[in-house]
Amino acid sequence: MTRQVFLFFLLFSAGFFQAAPLKTYVYNNDVHHLSHYYQYLEDCNSYSTTAVIQNFRAGKFQNPQLDKAFSSGISTCSYWLAVAVQNSTGKNQKFLWSFKNNGLSFSLYEFKNNQLILLDESSMHESLGKRPYPVRSISFPFYLDPKQSKILFVKVTPTVNKNIYFPTAIETVEQFLTYELEFSYLMGKYFGVLLLTLFINFCLFVILRKRIYLYNIFYGFFIVLFQLSDFHFDSFEIPNAFFEFWSYINKDFYIALSIFFYAKVFQIFVELPKNFAKVNRILNWLNYTLLASAILLLVSGFLFHQNNYFIHFVNGFINFMIYIIIGFILVSIIIGIRFKINFFMLFGLSFLFMFYGFAGYLLNTLNLASLPIFRPGNLINGSVIEISLLTIFFIYKFKLDKEKAALKIITEIRKNDELSKKMLTIESEEQERLARNIHDEIGSDITGLRLQLENHLSSSTITAQHQESILENVKILYEKVRDLSHFMKPTEFNSNFMATIENQVLFYRKNVKNVEFELFSNLKDTDVFRPEIQSQLIRIIKEAYTNALKHSMASKISIQLIFENNILLLIIEDNGIGFDLSNEFKSIGLENMKSRVEFLKGIITLDSNKKGTSIIIEIPVL
Residues 573-581, mean pLDDT to the nearest whole number: 84
Grouping H, G, I as helix, E, B as strand and the rest as coil, residue 528 is coil
Domains of the chain: which residue ranges? 2-171, 179-411, 491-622
DSSP 388-427: HHHHHHHHHHHHHHHHHHHHHHHHHHHHHHHHHHHHHHHH
222 closest CA partner among 194, 243, 193: 194
pLDDT higher than 70, residue 611: yes
User: How far apart, in Å, are the Cα atoms of 113 and each of 109, 117, 151, 329, 389?
Assistant: 12, 9, 11, 59, 60
Cβ–Cβ under 8 Å, residues 612 and 573 = yes
Q: How far apart are CA 533 and CA 601, in angstroms?
A: 10
User: How far apart, in Å, are the Cα atoms of 450 and each of 294, 379, 422?
Assistant: 98, 102, 41
First-residue to last-residue Cα distance in the chain: 102
Residues 607-613, mean pLDDT to the nearest whole number: 87
pLDDT higher than 80, residue 56: yes
Answer whether CATH 3.40.50.720 is correct for domain 2-171. no
User: Backbone phi, then psi, for 83, in 5-degree steps?
Assistant: -145, 145
Lowest mean pLDDT among 90-94, 298-302, 556-560, 605-609: 298-302
Q: How far apart are CA 498 and CA 526, in angstroms?
A: 9
pLDDT higher than 60, residue 14: no
CA 353 from centre of chain? 20
pLDDT higher than 90, residue 439: no
Q: What is the pLDDT of residues 205-244, one digit of tens each?
A: 999 899 999 999 999 999 999 999 889 999 898 888 888 8
Q: How far apart are CA 490 and CA 533, in angstroms?
A: 13
15 closest CA partner among 43, 45, 54: 54
Q: What is the pLDDT of residues 307-365, one digit of tens each?
A: 567 777 888 899 899 989 999 999 999 999 999 888 899 999 999 988 888 777 777 76
Give the amino acid at 571. I
pLDDT higher than 80, residue 273: yes
Answer whether CATH 3.30.70.1400 is correct for domain 491-622. no
Angle at 215 between CA 213 and CA 221, to 5 degrees: 100
